[in-house]
Amino acid sequence: MISGAEIVIRCLQEEKVECVFGYPGGSVLHIYDALFKQEEVKHILVRHEQAAVHAADAYSRSSQKVGVALVTSGPGVTNTVTGIATAYMDSIPMVVITGQVPTQYIGQDAFQECDTVGITRPCVKHNFLVKDVKDLAVTLKKAFHIAATGRPGPVVVDVPKDITAQMCEFEYPKTIQMRSYNPVVKGHLGQIKKAVQMLQEAKRPIIYTGGGVILSDAAEKLTQLARRLNFPVTNTLMGLGGYPATDSQFVGMLGMHGTFEANNAMHYADVILAIGARFDDRVIGNPEHFGEEKRRVIHVDIDPSSISKRVKVDVPIVGNVADVLDEMLKLLDGGFTADPEVAGWWKQIDEWRGRDSLRYKQAEHIMPQFVIEKLYEVTGGEAFVTSDVGQHQMFAAQYYKFDKPRRWINSGGLGTMGVGLPYGMGVLLANPGAQVACVTGEGSIQMCIQEMSTCKQYELPVKIINLNNGMLGMVRQWQEMFYSKRYSQSYVTSLPDFVKLAEAYGHVGMRIEKPEDVEPALRKAFTEHKNDLVFMDFIIDPAANVFPMVAAGKGLTEMILAEDL
């Protein structure tokens, strides 16, 4: 017999978990003791529980493995909520183990008690409170199973302290059967056939793909399919890297800050093949405006509730993206002839491309777009890029051309400022030795800045690309455009000296103020300081805005372009 705490650790070992992100406290002391007595599972001590969850999230995003976080009850749990909600919105598989007060104290307002299952319920795929040590191993097995299968998501397992002390036989189930949970994998063949037929008839087709392609590890299959069809491809913010951005069939990201060609192609397409994407408000703009064009929609998604939620779908295909694409490819092998009018559609797209909607003017100041372009060059397009939330995030998404999946790590759904640095940590722990750039702003970086200390402890050489405009830039942009330049609370004063701050944490700091210094500084950071965390404080043009832009309530084709201003 072993203790509940040892069972927790044994389960992690059985799941081949190499790395857990966490922070100790009273209710998890037994678990931390069990952790101490073994070496297989490594523990990363963060400086704030929010960062533990973000790091576990990025660990998963960049590797396909399930991320794991371990925190104590009460404040440990409440600190994780932002991280859990962030992972939930982007469907990231993750298991969060939370300590709880001993069973007999639950409901008594005990010290560091909170209703973990209640607080996290709306932002988890599922959660459990373990009430008997005999259920502990099975519950953890279920948690990993649920997190990683179907539409993935975070699962919380709340473990009262007394249960971690109780002794029990350990047996880890090899497989798990749940009568209430059986996600579909294979798509319906009849529907897939219909879809292929519809693709043959398409005159103005577009392939629109999202995070589902990444989560399903289907990027290669998507590329095969798109090449086979020779149709244009657009990615959502979450889908970047699902199709090589440098490929000629790629028309760029679509949506609020999408390219002119992507948004127009999406709007005027007569057949949309949507794969692992959900037509959200940032993607299609005003739904009434979007609905004005007549078109047919094929929608492949593992989650039936994503289909026909915001846009009516003609051919729904519920299934795992990779499996469905396999079937489609097989059918295409049987012969496929695209409609001859598709050639004209490509001409139209090339005309839209001619607007060169990502063009920007160089100025005396460093332009943020320029920094990202140089970052792309210096890293050979091979870096993992994590980002925070704001203008810098959009610049990174628009100007770093992701050719591979799982390289672009950002909070798309919840839009959580503060994820960038902990995301960088998670990526490096899952991909040791990789080049990792965290593109951030002086606002966002300060939301999890304490993690510079964690980076020191574990030697995590994230390159922090701080696009410092002294502004909550994205807020300022909206105020400039829609609130007659009343800049209410969007100006950040009393910024720390980031160079000194980085040095105080034991890292390298650089301040870059001139355009001509951008590239050399980046080169230095990625070569000479390969193994250091480098905080690169780029003082950029504070007036730079993100274009194209589809304003709130506007239609996809009603973009504001930089040239209009």
Partner 1 sequence: MRHIISILIENESGALSRVAGLFSARGYNIESLTVAPTEDPSLSRMTILTSGSDEVLEQITKQLNKLVDVVKVVDLSEAAHVERELMLIKVRATGKDREEMKRMADIFRGRIVDVTESTFVIELTGASGKLDSFIAALDAGLILETVRTGVCGIGRGDRILKV
Ligand X SMILES: Cc1ncc(C[n+]2csc(CCOP(=O)(O)OP(=O)(O)O)c2C)c(N)n1
Residues that bind partner 1 (CB under 8 A): 117-118, 121-122, 125-126, 129, 146, 151, 178-181, 303-305, 308-309
352: its two tokens? 């839209």
The residue among 177 and 493 lying less far from Mg ion, judged by its C-beta, is 493
Nearer to partner 1, 129 or 133 (CB): 129
Find out whether 234 and 210 touch, Cβ atoms under 8 Å: no
- Residue 523's identity, in one-letter code, is R
Instruction: Work out how close the CB of 375 gets to Mg ion at its nearest, in angstroms, rounded to a whole number.
Output: 17
509 near Mg ion (CB under 5 A): no
**Residue 67 vs residues 2, 61, 70, 220: alpha-carbon distances, Å:** 25, 9, 10, 24
* 415 contact choice in ligand X, partner 1, Mg ion, none (CB below 5 to 8 Å, kind-dependent): ligand X
**Closer residue to ligand X (CB): 268 or 478:** 478
**Catalytic hit among 13, 38, 111, 186:** 111
Helix, strand, coil proportions of the chain in percent (round to 5)?
A: 40, 15, 40
Antiparallel, parallel or unpaired: β 19-22 and 67-71: parallel
Cα 14 to chain center, whole Å? 27
The DSSP 8-state label assigned to residue 448 in this structure reads S
Q: Helix/strand/coil (H, E, C) string of 78-104? A: HHHHHHHHHHHHCCCCEEEEEEECCHH
From 93, 390, 412, 422, residue interacting with ligand X (rule: CB under 6 A)? 390
User: For partner 1, which is the closer residue by CB, 316 or 509?
Assistant: 316
Nearer to Mg ion, 270 or 442 (CB): 442
Beta bridge partners of 315: 298
Q: Which lies closer to ligand X via its Cβ, residue 233 or residue 472? A: 472
User: Hey, which residues between 439 and 478 contact Mg ion (CB under 5 A)?
Assistant: 441-443, 469, 471, 473
Please, are residues 527 and 508 in contact by the beta-carbon 8 Å criterion? Answer: no
> Which structure tokens are listed for 106?
């639950």
11: contact with ligand X by CB under 6 A = no
Q: Which of 18, 64, 112, 309 is catalytic?
A: 112
Tokens of 189: 């063949």
- # residues near Mg ion by CB under 5 A: 6
Q: Which residues contact 559 (CB under 8 A, 6 or more apart)?
A: 260, 263, 357, 547, 548, 549, 550
Query: Smallest distance from the beta carbon of 550 to partner 1, in angstroms?
Result: 24
Closer residue to partner 1 in complex, CB, 131/529: 131
Contact string (CB under 6 A) for ligand X, positions 404-433, x = contact: -----------xxxx---------------
**125 contacts which partner out of ligand X, Mg ion, partner 1, none, CB within 5 to 8 A by kind?**
partner 1
Are the CB atoms for 396 and 385 separated by under 8 Å?
A: yes
Counting every residue written for the chain, the total comes to: 565
Whether 49 is catalytic:
yes
User: How near is the Cβ of 75 to ligand X at its closest, in Å?
Assistant: 18
DSSP labels for 229-261? Answer: HT--EEE-GGGTTSS-TTSTTEEEE-STT--HH
161 is catalytic: yes
CB 65 within 8 A of CB 59: yes
Q: Which of 99, 232, 473, 515 binds ligand X (CB under 6 A)?
A: 473
Catalytic residue among 161, 221, 374, 463: 161
- Where b means 16+ CB within 10 Å and e means fewer, 385-403 reads bbbbbbbbbbbbbbbbbbb
Q: Which residue has the tokens 């965390």?
A: 533
Contact flag: residue 469 with ligand X (CB under 6 A): yes
Nearer to partner 1 among residue 178 and residue 565 (C-beta): 178
Burial 181-210 (b: 16+ CB within 10 A, else e): eeeeeebbeebbeebbebbbebebbbbbbb
Strand, helix or coil at 3? strand
* In the complex, least distance from residue 419 CB atom to ligand X, rounded to whole angstroms: 9
Could you tell me the CA-to-CA distances from 501 to 83, 392, 452, 498 in Å, in that order? 25, 21, 9, 5
Q: How far is the CB of 220 from ligand X (least distance, A)?
A: 33
CB nearer ligand X, residue 250 or residue 376: 376
Q: Is 389 in the site for ligand X (CB under 6 A)?
A: yes
The entry of partner 1, Mg ion, ligand X, none near residue 519 (CB within 5 to 8 angstroms by kind) is: none
Q: Which of Mg ion, ligand X, partner 1, none does residue 388 bind (CB under 5 to 8 Å by kind)?
A: ligand X
* 242 part of the interface to ligand X, by CB under 6 A: no
Closest CA to 552 of 472, 478, 487, 490: 478
By CB under 6 A, what part of segment 77-96 binds ligand X? Answer: none
| Smaller CB separation from Mg ion, 68 or 474 | 474
Least Å distance, CB 390 to ligand X, is: 2
Annotated active-site residue 112? The verdict is yes
Min CB(337)–ligand X separation in Å: 47
**308 binds, options partner 1, Mg ion, ligand X, none, Cβ within 5 to 8 A by partner type:** partner 1
Cα gap 36→33, rounded to integer Å: 5
Count helices and strands (H / E) in the chain: 22, 20
User: Tokens in use for 384?
Assistant: 């993992």
Minimal CB distance to Mg ion: which residue? Answer: 441
Stretch that binds ligand X, among 128-136, 214-222, 370-378, 385-393 (CB under 6 A): 385-393
Q: Which of ligand X, Mg ion, partner 1, none binds 475 (CB below 5-8 Å, type-dependent)?
A: ligand X
Which run of H or E residues covers position 169? Answer: none
Catalytic entry in 256, 328, 474, 510: 474
Q: Which among 44, 48, 15 is positioned nearest to 426, based on CA atoms? A: 44
**Least CB distance from residue 464 to Mg ion, whole Å?**
13
**CA–CA separation, 184 and 151 (whole Å):** 10
Residue numbers of the site for ligand X (CB under 6 A)? 388-392, 415-418, 441-444, 467, 469, 471-475
Task: Kindly list the catalytic residues.
Answer: 49, 111-112, 161, 474
Residue numbers of the site for Mg ion (CB under 5 A)? 441-443, 469, 471, 473
